[in-house]
A and B are shown apart, each in its own frame.
Chain A
Amino acid sequence: VTVEATTLAGERMQLNLGPQHPATHGVLRIRIESDGEVVSTCIPDHGYLHRSIEKIGECVEWAMFVPYTDRVDYVCAMNANLAYCLAVERLLATDATTAVVVPRRAECIRVLVAELNRISSHLIAVGAMAMDIGAYTPFLHGIAQRELVNDIFEKLCGQRLTYNYVTIGGVAFDLHPGAPAEIAAFLDQLERELVRFHRLVTTNTIFRDRCAGVAVVTAAEAIAWGLVGPNLRGSGVDFDLRRDEPYGIYGELGVRVPTGQGYAGRRGAVGDCYDRYIVRVLEIQESVRLCRLVLQQLPPAAEKATDPVGGWQADVGKQLKKPPKGHVHCRTEAPRGEMGYFLVSDGTKQPYRVRVRTGSFSAAGIFHKVMRGIFLADVVAVIGSFDVVVPEIDR
């Protein structure tokens, strides 16, 4: 038997990570070519969760698209609602006759629910990342806190996952009686829980060593590859739409923006997995602060039942029958980064085009670059650190 040169040279192993794999956060498929444990190429394959949401947008009326935005990112549906409604409001505002004014109380409630949803989304993100790195318990502790947020939202709008709560011109319902107290109590106990979480995960040496120096994205690279949100800030770029391009009442709140600073210490670098993780946990703290701030300045509930805060504004429906022609792009800061809706209106009751720009899509773009030459075990850590939610990639 002669041994051929090709067998001696060895061959790369083709691995299929997903679409059914415990660590791919949904039906994400990653084609990996590896030399044993070391990944040489890594190509994400998308489309397993494509539901043509953007196309649906062209087939339904303006207001009917709001429930679909829930499905664009079901981990933070409030933020997705908000992004779309803001875009439509901005479109309506291009013509003075159709412009809608969002009541102050509704603006406050919007920030409140968006930040609560950011907290619950980040809890999933950091918990799932810890789970990918092998610590199962923190994930459940994170989920337990998310359940409490879901309880609040369920009382608010009857839903626990896809809320359909933010409407064009306001929010669907006013806060239920006792909601501010409930939210304040939740924030207090969340802070106590977070201390435990940090002791369990954030300051854990194994966790830090697993993340330190893995998949480093420099600030220049992050900008060049179009990373957004925590992934961008993890690389040390100080940019947050809530502060730098404020919408709603964010401009008055003075949002503090955490950035990655090489928190992992000597073995880490600015923009590694640990920095992206830390940015998320710091953003949770910041969201807690923002929620408290909003609760303090929440205007009193309206006395009349017809007040537009809780419910549909009658005149918005009229204006949406004949919105101004033109196009508008509205960017918001969702938990997974910039969520932008690009709307084209031809003046009819349906959008001519709805285009969604999402954070996970940007993050998935850099996968093949950062997942080169790392260990197989790091692949799942990197997916976790970029906090990819697959329906955001496949719309």
Chain B
Amino acid sequence: MTGLGYAVDALAAWLAGSSEPGWFAVGLAALVVWVGPLLGVVFPLAALGQIVERKVAAAIQRRHGPNSASLDGPLRFVVRVLLWFLPRARQDRVLAALLRLPLVRSLLPVLQRLGIGQLAADGVKMLGKEDIVPRGADGVVFRLAPYLALLGAFLPFCALPFAHHLVMLEVSVGALYAVAVSGITVTALLMAGWGSGNKFSLLGGMRAVAQMVSYEIPVGLAIAGVVLWSGTMDLHGIVAQQYRPGVVSCLGWNLLQSPFLAVLAGVFFLAGLAECQRTPFDMAEAESELVSGFNTEYSGLRWGLFALAEYTEMILIGALFATLFLGGYQSPVGEQWLVAAPVWLSVPIHGLVFLSKSLLALFVMVWIRWTLPRYRVDQVMRLCWLVLVPLCLVALFGLALQLVLTGGTVAGDGYGRLPARQRPDLGALAWLLGWLVPVAAGAVLVRLAYRAHGSTHPALLALTRDPAAGGRP
């Protein structure tokens, strides 16, 4: 055990009063040291994801989005609850003093305009809504589903390194673990669809299962490519392998290592979109077709849990993408100084960098959702089995070939955890083999696929040219 794992041990020992604590003490200690803070980071982030979604959607649709819910009331409520032991008059005095603070007075309107107040209002609304279990529903299944969905979205975070050695479960097969436990979500959606006793929900649930089970294959293949490249399934090891000394440390990221890895990254992101049921793959929800799909019959807190699970999963996909392809928690520049920096400095920065990368991916997902239409269910399947899976296999093969040709699996490891085998420097030849040939072949393939698929009718292309810009597109 490393890092804060020691803290768990120490706390458990202290709780149990012996050097070999039982499972209960260890569990409690892990809850206090790990799960609590992780929940405290991931779930607020998911809630923030909803605000990001609404604000970005508003920007795309040229409107303001939530900006009217004041934070004044929630602040008063929280302060009064915290100061419950004081008489009301003194609470008033504290509140007045608090609201006079320049920081509070300037910050509250800003947060209101950012829509944070709406978050509080929505939360309260959700808690206060009537909790309905439809008459035809399978009560147990119906009630259990949202918790499972949340579990499936949350558990993979345990294996993700948030900073150097800041990882909850240091499993040697972290990549496998993350994919495996996120599969719980499939069950949850099926349970929700089946248990609701509604045909639209049932269709949504069935679509969710068919789609998520299918898309786990390209996700798995993409991860396999990264594993092949880095020679480890340990997520921490995968991050460490992307370390590159020098100012521009992002040159070591997997995304930039090989065109095949770049293709796999694209596939991973697309399949990840499908895994978390986002447009253009939101078959299970499909508002205009299935009303709200699997969660049509849900209301109040349970619906809220589904929404939370959705955003948690989006952040998870973003975090996994960052871990596998964007160097994880490593800073894009000057990572070598961060590695050398003291822990109190590097861990928060690493954590922030990691979360920013996840949020960036979340932003892209939101952007896609409010731009693109939705695929049809058969097109989603066709895309998976006839495009993404073969593409993955080809990329995987190409990657293996590249590894064989250029020799060695691992470029270097700043943390000294993996055998550092330097690849022979083939100079221009490696560049030619590694980048130019695959990219050229890819371009030809894309062009052929585009031609086979059929492009936009020439008469319609004229419509996309701006008359004010002299007919230029």
**Are these two chains actual partners, yes or no?**
yes
Tell me whether B464 and A267 are in contact (CB under 8 A): no
Task: Report the minimal beta-carbon distance from B381 to chain A, rounded to whole angstroms.
Answer: 11
Q: Is B455 an interface residue (CB 8 A)?
A: yes
B279 in contact with A210 (CB, 8 Å): no
A-B contacts besides A134-B286, A137-B371, 10 pairs, CB < 8 Å? A22-B288, A37-B378, A132-B288, A133-B374, A141-B62, A198-B464, A200-B371, A202-B463, A206-B373, A375-B376
Residue from A133, A134, A192 whose CB has the most chain B CB atoms within 10 Å? A134
Q: Is the CB of A135 within 8 A of B372?
A: yes
Residue of B nearest to A209 (CB): B379
Interface 0/1 of A319-357, CB less than 8 Å to B: 000000000000000000000000000000000000000
Instruction: Determine whether the beta carbon of B374 is less than 8 Å from that of A278.
Output: no
Residues of A within 8 A of B466 (CB): 192, 195
Contacting pair B288 A380 (CB below 8 A): yes
B375 touches A206 (CB 8 A): yes
A36, CB-defined interface residue at 8 Å: yes
List A260-297 residues whose CB lies under 8 Å from chain B. Answer: 261, 263-267, 278, 281, 285
| Smallest Cβ-Cβ distance to B374: which chain A residue | A134
Instruction: Say if the beta carbon of A203 comes within 8 Å of chain B.
Output: yes
- Residue positions of A touching B, CB distance < 8 A: 13-15, 21-23, 36-37, 130-137, 140-141, 144, 191-192, 194-195, 198-210, 261, 263-267, 278, 281, 285, 375-380
State the Cβ distance, A130 to closest chain B Cβ, in Å.
6
Chain A residues lying within 8 Å of B468, measured Cβ to Cβ, are 191-192
Min Cβ gap B316→A in Å is 23
Chain A residues with Cβ under 8 A from B461's Cβ?
203
Cβ-defined contact, A22 with B467, below 8 A: no
Selected from A15, A134, A144, A191, the residue in CB contact (under 8 A) with B288 is A134
Minimal Cβ-Cβ distance residue in A for B375:
A206
**CA A22 – CA B460 in complex, angstroms?**
30
Let me know if A377 and B454 touch, CB within 8 A: no
Q: What are 23 contact pairs spanning A and B, CB under 8 A?
A: A21-B291, A22-B288, A37-B203, A130-B373, A131-B288, A134-B373, A136-B370, A140-B62, A140-B63, A141-B61, A144-B62, A192-B466, A192-B468, A199-B464, A202-B464, A203-B461, A206-B375, A210-B373, A210-B375, A263-B457, A263-B460, A264-B454, A285-B463
- Complex partner residue of A191 from B60, B291, B373, B467, CB under 8 angstroms: B467
Per-position 1/0 for B39-71, Cβ under 8 A of A: 000000000000000000100111100000000
Within 8 Å of chain A (Cβ to Cβ): is B280?
yes
Q: Are A375 and B61 in contact (CB under 8 A)?
A: no
How many chain B residues touch A (CB < 8 A): the figure is 42
**CB pair A265 B60 closer than 8 Å:** no
In angstroms, Cα B390 to Cα A34, docked, is 32
- A205–B289 CA distance with the chains assembled, in angstroms: 20
Which residues of A are found within 8 Å of B456, using beta-carbon distances? 203, 208, 265
Is B465 interfacial (CB 8 A cutoff)?
yes
Looking at the assembled complex, report how far the CB atom of A186 sits from the nearest CB atom of chain B, in whole angstroms: 15
10 smallest beta-carbon distances between A and B, as pairs? A134-B374, A265-B454, A266-B454, A135-B373, A23-B288, A198-B463, A133-B373, A134-B373, A140-B61, A263-B457
> Are B373 and A207 in touch, CB under 8 angstroms?
yes
Chain B residues 433 to 473 lying within 8 A of chain A, measured CB to CB, are 453-457, 459-461, 463-468
B288 touches A278 (CB 8 A): no
* Interface residues as binary, B389-420 with A (CB distance below 8 Å gives 1, 0 otherwise): 00000000000000000000000000000000
Contact flag A195-B457 (CB < 8 Å), given A135-B373, A209-B379: no
- Set of chain B residues within 8 Å of A198, measured between Cβ atoms: 460, 463-464
Q: How far is the CB of A29 from chain B (nearest CB, A)?
A: 14
How far apart sit A206 and B270, CA to CA, in the bound complex (Å)?
14
Task: Decide yes or no whether B199 CB sits under 8 A from chain A.
Answer: yes
Contact (Cβ within 8 A) A134 B280: yes
Chain B residues within 8 Å of A140, by CB? 61-63
Shortest distance in angstroms between B273's beta carbon and chain A's nearest beta carbon? 13
B467 proximity list for chain A (CB < 8 A): 191-192, 195
